[in-house]
Homo-oligomer: A and B are copies of this chain.
Amino acid sequence: MDALKDRLIEVHALGKAADLLEWDQEVMMPRGGAEARARHLAVLKKTAHEMFVAPDTGRLIEALAPAAEGKDDDESALVRLAAREWRRRSRQPVELVEALTRATALAQEEWFEARKASDFARFRPRLEEIFALKRRQAAALGDFPDPYDAWLEEFEPEMSTARVDGLFAEMKAGLIPLVKAVLAKTASARVPELHGRYEIPAQRRLGLEVARSMGFDFARGRLDESAHPFSSGIAVGDVRLTTRYDERLPFSALYGTMHEAGHGLYDQNCEPALKDTPLTGGATMAVHESQSRMWENQVGRSREFWRRWRGRFVELFPQAAAFSAEDLYRASNRVEASLIRVEADELTYGLHVLIRFELERELLSGRTAVADLPRAWAEKSKAYLGVVPPDDARGVLQDVHWASGLIGYFPTYAVGNMISAQLWNAALAAVPGIPAAIERGDGKPLLGWLVENVHRHGRKFGADELVRRACGAKLTARPYLDYLRAKYGELYGL
């Protein structure tokens, strides 16, 4: 066990070094460093991969795996995690992994240009190649009830496609009529809007203050700026958030910061005993997203939040002095039938994800060809959101995920939202003082519950198991739909 642990800790350390190089690339690196950085990262990842798939690692895992089944101590969880990862890595031929690396590198460049030109035809051959390789990858990973499982497992281990199907069917049935009903009311509803310019240093100060009030520890973390906000947990003592600033959109940086700080709190509060093993960090992508979404939406887009922060907001931005707390609450919850997922409001967000999940499954089954994507995308967008993208850039080309080979990733965004609502209910039931604390600007009571029930476990449990332990109930879409119905029903007078 000690030998396996040592090996895993070494592989983990090289992976974390790579994470730091990637953080630096987005946040600090001069642009002249790109070429060398790509090489240094490739060597680092190849070295970590070779160290992990070395035959002696496999022998250690095989020897330890039988005894680790069904136990929930740290060491057994570590062995199971290593066994899954080992199976995934050792089943993919080196030649396939290299082909995917090359194809996604080229596709990302091509995607960038194609999106700029809003020209899907230009991107199409690259995407066809990626889907062909990803199909080969799924076949190599083998023996799953559904071939999509092979993709999903990378991001959401221990959750089957059948399970996601069930959750999405429930979400779809509830969300489409709710969104339709709200969109019919947006013209008549009173939703104030922020105008003018909001100075970036003041936006940054607000983000820092809010993140600190959530409980984010800046002695063990940073907040910087990057083109696309992200969070990176280098270690429990070194968690890095980024956001981006737009002078005209103060909510964008604020909620971006709260979102990433939600991820960051998860990474900062993992059980110290798990640190620097691969069990550190968040359970799955969906559970991670539940944390970022909860702080961004259930906390940040609440009346309690704005009762606390309205004063500070208008102090930093005197041009917003006419806005009451209620105005800011309403302004931060404006619903729109929008085209772009990353700019979508909380209510319609799930439908953006649904489009992508359904298209990925159709591409896999062959029901839709890559060449048909723009048409299929437009149909679904029309059916679910009532809008048709006027061009490829605002439709099928808007996300980088597919170009990066991140297929099977999108559903975790929506499952994360479902989990956030279910955990939020459980937290409120256990700690009724949470809303009052938020109104005082004190995130600690909520954070305390999350640390105890979610964060400390690191990657020990899958999403279903974690929700069962935290909430004493099975994960469903119901609490998420109830939450949206209550909030937006009241806001839009349904």
Contact = CB atoms under 8 A, between A and B. Distances in A.
Interface of A: 9-10, 13-14, 16-18, 20-21, 24, 28-37, 39-40, 42-44, 47, 51, 217-222, 234-238, 275-276
Contact of A276 (B30, B36, B236): B36
Contacts of A51: 47
A275 to B, nearest CB: 7
A63 B254 CA distance: 61
A32 B219 contact: yes
A76 B40 CA distance: 24
14 contacts: A9-B39, A9-B43, A13-B42, A14-B43, A14-B44, A17-B40, A20-B24, A24-B24, A28-B28, A31-B219, A32-B219, A36-B236, A36-B275, A39-B276
Contacts of A218: 30
A35 B237 contact: yes
Contacts of A9: 39, 43
Which secondary structure characterizes the binding site on chain A?
helix
A230 to B, nearest CB: 16
A28 B33 CA distance: 18
Contacts of A237: 30, 32-36
B36 A220 contact: no
A33 B238 contact: yes
Nearest to A27: B28
A9 B42 CA distance: 12
Contact of A43 (B10, B28, B236): B10
Most-contacted residue by chain B among A24, A34, A40, A218 (CB, 10 A): A40
Contacts of A35: 235, 237
Given A237-B36, A238-B36, A10 B222 contact: no
A147 B161 CA distance: 68
B275 A30 contact: no
Contacts of A16: 36, 40
A33 B37 CA distance: 22
Contacts of A17: 17-18, 21, 40, 43-44
